[in-house]
Each structure stands twice: as C-alpha cells, then as structure tokens.
Chain A
Amino acid sequence: MSDRSQLLATGKSFAFDAETDAEFERLAARYPIRESMIMPALWLAQQQQGWISAETIEYVAERVGTYPAKVFELATFYTMYHLRPVGTYHICVCRTLSCYLRDKQEIVDFLADEAGIRPGQVSDDGRFSLEEVECLGHCGSAPVVQINGEFYEDMNVEKLRALLTTLA
C-alpha cells in the first residue's frame, strides 16, 4: 500500500446529521464495547460526507470515546476509507489474479489513455476517480469493475466505454 498518513483537513468541523446519528446509536447498542463502533462510524461518516477528513476522525474519536490516534490507525489500515475526496463516480478495477489473467490491464489502460482517468487520481471535471484494488471476489466473471459500489462483471473495453457514456 502507499502511505495514507497525510490526512486532509477541511477547516470545518464534522458532525453526523440526524439520520446518521440515529443509525450510529442503533448500531452502538449491538456491541458490548464502544470501540467496536469505530469502523461503523467511519462508514457512516463516509456515507454522509463521501470521504474521511481529519475532522471526521476527531469527531468519530469523540463519539466513540477513544483517542484520535486510534481512529487514525483504523482509517489508514482499512483501505476502503477514502482519505481524499473521490469523483462523482469512483471506479475500482480489480487488479488481482483472475482479473489480471483476464486482462484487467486493458481496462486500466483504456481509462488512463482514452478517458484520462488515472489510478489514484480524480479527473479534472471531478466526475471520475480510479483506484486499482485487490481481489473483489468476482473472479468467475473477471475482469470486474466496481463503480460506486455496483459491480460490472465480464467487463471489457467496449462495455466500459458504453457504460461510461451512460454515467451522467
């Protein structure tokens, strides 16, 4: 993995909205210890804000009742927490084994060369971001692409090109 320790600060404080807050408290009742809520809280925060800022980490630490450094540990350890804003469409291309064998590289190259979307970057218009991720568990329908959580199986350049045009 690359270094994820350089957090971004927004300069604005973060807090759950009412709906998220209710969900947080509902989930918290499911665990005998409060710290179990660090991961669910980070998920909720990401759902609300789209990514995890330095302020989000401080807020989660306060809500859970733990050290910011500990939430910081988890936010950097678990790679699905976005520590930078992502595009309107966050594209994950599986890079591992079966997808590698079935030419995921063509998809990555297409995105980079034709669509101008490069791994780890957000496109200039803010619409797309690309991440090469490890095995997504769709090896039988490789290569697989995941966009904003939705899986697109048996992917190839033609299908992806068509798909991108449908994403407004």
Chain B
Amino acid sequence: MEVKILSARFDIENANRIDVARQHGAYQTLDTLFAMEQADVIETVKASGLRGRGGAGFPTGVKWGFLPKDTGKPVYLAVNADESEPATFKDRYILVRDPHALIEGIIICSYAIGCHDSYIYIRGEYTSQVKILQQAIDEAYAEGYLGDRVAGRNFRLDVTVHRGAGAYVCGEETALLESIEGKKGQPRSKPPFPAVVGLFGCPTIINNVQSIASLPFIITNGADAYKAYGTEKSCGTHLFGISGHVEKPGMYELPLGLPLAEVIETVAGGVWKGRRLKGVIPGGSSTPVLTPDEVATVTLDYESMAAHKTMFGSGGIVVLDETVDMVKLVENLIAFYHHESCGQCTPCREGLGWMLKIVRRLLAGEGTVADIKLLRELCDNIEMKTVCVLSAACTMPVRSYLDKFRDEFEAYAIDGAPEQTELREG
C-alpha cells in the first residue's frame, strides 16, 4: 500500500545533507522550473489537485491565485512548520529526513508567486529538528540554491527560520503571521485574507510543509503523474501518522482514498494486544471520532471523511482500543484546547475552561445528567462564534464523543466515578 513520493529519500542515510540529497535527485527540478513561466507553475500545481496538507485541504494552486497582481508590495511565503495538532507528526519527517525537498519546494513556490523572502515558522518544541533544518538551509545558501542568485538565475530568495515557543494556535495561519511580526499568536479577523494583507501588511501565501515538499515531484513529473495517485478529488499521496493503540504505529506515505480499516489492519498491524477497536480519530485531535461501524466504510480522502461527518484533517490517525475511557479522553482533549486557547475571543477563552471543569466534575463523580446536557449545549454555543476555529477544533470532536459514546458520560453522572476499568493494565 505504501508509496514513496514525499518519502522517497526518508530511508536514505544522511539525506538531510545536501550532497546526499543531490545524489538522489534534490534540486534537479530547478532547470525545469526556471524554464517555465510563473503562471504555468501555478497552473501545473492547480492541475495536480494538490490540496493544503495542514488540515483544511484548500487547493494549493487556487490559494496562490488569490494573490493580487502588481501591488508594488513584496510578496511573502510563510511555510507552516508549526505542526502541533495532537496526533500529527508528518512534517517532522520532512524537516529531519528530507529538508532539501522542503527548500526546493520553497524555491518553486517563491518563483511562482514572485516571493523573495520566505519564512519557515517551526514550532519551538522541534529543537533538534530546527538544527537539521537550519543546517540544510545553510548548505543550500553555500551551494547557491538560496541567496542573491538562486541556482545561478537572476532570482533572489532568502529563507529565514522563525521559531515558535509553545503555542498550538500559531498553526492558524494568521496567528502564525502575528507571531512572526513579534506579537502574541492571536488570529486575525478575516477578511482581509493573508493573500491580500498578510505578513508585514503585504500579500502573503501560507503553505504547510508537506504541501510545499510535494511541489518538486509535481514540477518534475507533471500534474498528471501526481494525480495518478489518490482519488479524483483527493489527489496524490499523504504522509499519514498512525498512533494510539496499534501494533505498528508510525508514519506511512499512502495514496489518498484507501479504506481506513484496511490501512489500520495491514499497514499499522491492527489494534494492539488483540483487543477490539472502539473508535478512530481520523485526522488529528480536532476531527470528530469515528465508531467501528464508520471505520469499516470510510476511506482516507476528503470526500469520504466529509460524508462520515468528520474531516480528513492532518492525516493523524489515532486508534482507540476497547479500554479507552472516552470521558477521560475528552478531558485530555479539552485540557489541550483550553491550554492552547489564545485568550482573545470571549467564547473560547471563557468557554473551554468551563467545559473542562464540567468534565472534571463528571470524572470526580460529582456531575449530573444536566451537566452532560450543558456540555453538549456549550459546544453549540461556543462553536463558530470566534475569530478562528480553535474552539471549534475542540467542540466538534467533543460533540462527537458526547453523541456517540453518551452512555459512558451518563455512567459517570449516574453511577459516579467507576473503579478503574478492568482491562486497563497497570
């Protein structure tokens, strides 16, 4: 099932070093690239069907097309390497194992959109990773792939790494821009959209690491070669991170469109310890949970996920076995979003803390059925009333657990805190 497009150099030793990467094809797209018109690059990316791999899945080429022409202002590219959505760890592989694919992708995108200053916003926790990335950038400068004359062409491109410092919300693209501008990472109201008013008030494109790293393949092999993978509307491949209760957790590159159940079974070795499946979080913690019945019918693409009332998200798949206490899991999730709320908008700032305390009240055996109802209602009251979707990233999954595993919440409310579940091991 696995394919090697993005991950082609992942298993090559020292592929993070430029000489090794070059031996295996890095930077070989640039001759093709600079022979193309900028507009043709954008068209090719549009035709490839590449969609933003950060979680929202917006078509990458279309996004580039939103840039206003001839504003007289610089155009910026901000690369989103803030990978912080729980269960997501795919971009890290690119940053560490093939950073030159990212840099090559940045050159491609920058050429296409007329950008000369790109910033990579990398989450602060990626401490060893940022060193490898910076080393790769330094090498690319030394070898003439970055700097005043990219690959000998009359094209300047500077790439600067900006380190985050522990704030999930900075993965939201306007919060990311605020953070680069030296502010708290608090998302901006839209409109205006970043393509029009972005970094330092200038037109800006923000793309996820994986989206950018997908570009060299598309430019080298053409849109059709990329579209050969995946489904009609969900083209190409994706780095899926499979974690939780499986025998072989890890990162796997797969074409889009595969059946989730089969992937869990054959790629990830199935539910661990011979246990039964209780549910699957399909695309990072903010995507609504799927029940075993739903898992049986869903495929790994944007459309099927939407049809199952969840989201493709970041491709971070979490398998939950039968021992999982869904109320405790929900407490873990709300605690995360509460901790990460930027504190700007009233509903998210005040509401997530309230939700967390209600769940904790249930867990302490002090909750009532009315608390469950209130929790469910708060999901509705908070969601989509805020500047960004951080609160919705909490309420959407929480609502799914409340609806699909209601009895577990009610058990806490009616019977109080139960003894430790028997199946749970020490």
Contacts and interface: CB of A to CB of B under 8 A. Distances in A.
Q: Do chains A and B touch in the complex (CB under 8 A)?
A: yes
Interface stretch (A10-18, A113-121, A144-152, A159-167): A144-152
A133 B123 CA distance: 13
Given A80-B165, A97-B318, A38 B123 contact: no
B167 A32 contact: no
A149 B128 contact: yes
Given A101-B320, A139-B318, A140-B242, A78 B182 contact: no
Interface size on A, as a range, is 35 or more
Given A32-B200, A78-B165, A137 B184 contact: no
B60 interface: no
A137 B316 CA distance: 10
Contacts of A31: 160, 180
Contact of A137 (B125, B200, B245): B125
Contact of B128 (A73, A133, A135, A150): A150
Given A95-B332, A134-B336, A43 B184 contact: no
A138 interface: yes
Contacts of A95: 332, 335
A136 interface: yes
Given A33-B182, A40-B162, A139 B339 contact: no
19 contacts: A35-B183, A36-B162, A36-B181, A39-B179, A74-B182, A74-B183, A96-B336, A97-B87, A97-B281, A97-B285, A98-B86, A98-B244, A101-B243, A101-B244, A133-B125, A134-B168, A137-B83, A137-B84, A142-B249
Interface of A: 1, 27, 30-40, 42-43, 64, 66, 73-74, 77-81, 92, 95-98, 100-102, 106, 133-142, 146, 149-151
Given A66-B182, A96-B285, A139-B249, 14 more contacts: A31-B160, A39-B162, A43-B165, A74-B182, A78-B124, A78-B185, A79-B167, A95-B332, A106-B426, A134-B339, A134-B340, A137-B88, A139-B316, A140-B241
Closest 6 A/B residue pairs (Cβ): A35-B182, A149-B127, A78-B165, A80-B166, A139-B243, A79-B166
